Amino acid sequence: MSAHNHNGSTANAAPNDAHSQHNEPGAAESGMPDSQQPHDGHPQQGGGGHGDHVASFRRMFWIMLVVAVPVDAFSPMFAMLLGYELPASWMVWISPVLGTVMYVWGGAPFLTGAVSEVRSKQPGMMLLIGLAITVAFVASWGATLGVLDHGLDFWWELALLIVIMLLGHWIEMRSLAQTTSALDSLAALIPDEAERVDGDQTVTVSPSELRVGDVVVVRPGGRVPADGRVVQGSASMDESMITGESRAVRRSEGDSVVAGTVATDSGMRVEITAVGDDTTLAGIQKLVTEAQSSSSRAQRLADRAAGWLFWFALGAGAITALVWTLLGMPDAAVVRTITVLVIACPHALGLAIPLVASISTERAAKAGVLIKDRLALESMRTVDTVLFDKTGTLTKGTPAVTAIEPTEGFEADELLALAAAAEADSEHPLARAIVAAARERELSVPKSSDFESSPAVGVRTRVADRTVQVGGPYLLEQEGGAELPATAEWAEQGAIILHILIDGRVAGALKLADEVRAESRDAIAALHDRGVQVVMITGDAEAVAASVAEELGIDRYFAGVRPEDKALNVKELQAEGRKVAMVGDGVNDAPALAQADVGIAIGAGTDVAIASAGVILASDDPRSVVSVIELSRASYRKMKQNLWWAAGYNLLSVPLAAGVLAPIGFVLPMSVGAVLMSISTIVVALNAQLLRRLDLNPEKFTGR
């Protein structure tokens, strides 16, 4: 099939050779290392970020679980609680020895984290855990050696505490683990090699060796290695990975091209005008880096709760020691104080947030929503503004026939069938759109022959005994035809307009536009129902943006936005005091996704967009944004409930352990404290499981 061009007229672009045969570029490969900053409050387990945390906590959990069995089984206090005796006296040393191993090895992450929290003067979960296991360790050795009361033998409690906390943090790290890297995905857009012109020959070099003024050859299907200017040839350039816009753009001599874009149909020579950090792609990389590094990482609920409980436990312990000492019972002061400090760290608190996070991410995944950043999910409940990219997000990103205007003597279906016959063998997006429209209407498409194409004009073919021509404004100019009156409104809307001529006479016109997703209307209506403002951002002209915004009922929009400026529009909304969720799919959306309070990427989009977002929609259904909001709200409710259950244990048990009811003869035994601790953990676990009943089907929330 020969290359050809219709070049339909648009409201925002000059006629260009955009309707030519082309090859689809292969998707850029991307590396998958984790690039997240260390999890706040957690010590580093190597240099690999969350990925290393997951492996470290998983491995350590299973080892400590095995070691904990003999520690508990041979603990004299545990044996007394369950009513059995140790068969040999030497067995009493098994728990101290193995318990010490657990404290030094299994407790190391928490002790390291506790030191970090002390240095940063931000007490949290790690310090609370570190305090509990250290006091339990010292008290247990004191009881074992006979220095302290035998009732302070906490080896079994120390083992259980370490195991459960390792389990909780393993779950937490797994929910936070990242799978892609935005910056690596951006770098993957640059080809590994470039063909530099050296006299009459070409030399293969690395793109890093290119200098301003060099001339390189870009072959059909190849990527531009650096920003430059076309000096020979022309090609339809796929710039979607940079602009997010699906339509190929014709670049000829004198036109600028951007690193990472693809010449789809023909080769050309490009003079390099920018290299390294001066390229457009490097600029986007910089913006992504800046936005990610400037994003505030809100302190987690569990960390705040743990911080409060640390001071509560420390204060309760100090008061307990002082009161019992003043009462003239120093031995009781030691026992009561140690008991308070040990049971002040509830097992439930270690699982309260991780369990909810794990179950919510699992439920989301089954609904086609991938949660990469738990903080993004937590923040989604507070979002009051959703900023949608237009092309590929609210729209399908591909042209579709949206209207047919026949002249007198012709029927709409007849015109569409004839146009489809002329385009039957073409692979161009506009041609495919016309053929697809005929197929959807179940039209009978006749056979064609004698196909001819003319660049920047259109196509000509014979259908039966009639000559059929399809093309843009240059076709009308060549044939002396006039545009139909109805097309004036189409042009104002920024649509592509193709005229159909039968035997030299204008028989009608086709309106082709980026088709709005049917689900977009439902998504926007559902967001409005929840009090969320909807904003659209696009690089298209004002007319195109206004048309789509009016059709979908969008509150406001930004039109004609350059790729590098999208993040600025996000900042503008944030400066208004809005909590912004950005939904996009292209490389050009990456800085905005990173800058937004919550970045949501369409799964069908580029690797870069996906990597820059905290939430990824596996489908292209914008209604899934509503599902994310509902999941965030439900998860937050469960987190609060679990924290109250976990903290409730402390509010009840700590005063009792301190001896507030001692005047009436009741002091909380350690064994009862352990039972309360277990009940609290069970309640938290069961409450988190209720999240599994949440239905995240978008149709449920939109009611459509």
| Active-site residue flag, 389 | yes
- Rounded Cα–Cα distance for residues 534 and 549 (Å): 10
- Rounded Cα–Cα distance for residues 62 and 55 (Å): 11
CB neighbours of 25 closer than 8 A, spacing ≥ 6? 221, 223, 238, 262, 264
CB neighbours of 545 closer than 8 A, spacing ≥ 6? 390, 536, 538, 557, 558, 559, 560
- 203 contacts 195 by C-beta, under 8 angstroms: yes
Strands (E), 390-457: 395-406, 449-454
- Rounded Cα–Cα distance for residues 285 and 594 (Å): 11
Q: Interhelix angle for 347-366 vs 301-326, to 10°?
A: 170
| Residue 454 neighbours by CB distance under 10 Å | 17
Strand 385-389 vs strand 580-584: parallel, antiparallel, or unpaired?
Answer: parallel
Tokens of 174: 């797994």
| Residue 515 neighbours by CB distance under 10 Å | 15
Catalytic one of 17, 153, 265, 389? 389
- Rounded Cα–Cα distance for residues 418 and 414 (Å): 6
Written as one letter, the residue type at 110 is F
- Rounded Cα–Cα distance for residues 583 and 580 (Å): 10
Q: What are phi and psi of 332, to 5 degrees?
A: -65, -35
Q: Closest Cα partner for 271 from 217, 347, 349?
A: 217
Distance set, CA 313 to CA 337, 343, 380 (Å): 10, 9, 33
- Rounded Cα–Cα distance for residues 378 and 631 (Å): 9
Q: In what order do the strands lie in the sheet with 235-238?
A: 249-251, 235-238, 262-263
- Rounded Cα–Cα distance for residues 614 and 588 (Å): 16
Written as one letter, the residue type at 163 is V
Q: Closest Cα partner for 40 from 378, 353, 299?
A: 299
Q: What are phi and psi of 558, to 5 degrees?
A: -115, 120
- Rounded Cα–Cα distance for residues 584 and 604 (Å): 10
Q: In what order do the strands lie in the sheet with 215-218?
A: 201-205, 194-198, 215-218, 268-274, 227-233, 256-257
Q: Closest Cα partner for 22 from 45, 49, 2, 50?
A: 2
> Which residue intervals of 511-587 are DSSP H helices?
518-529, 542-552, 566-575
Q: Closest Cα partner for 182 from 508, 588, 620, 690?
A: 588
Q: Which residues are catalytic?
A: 389
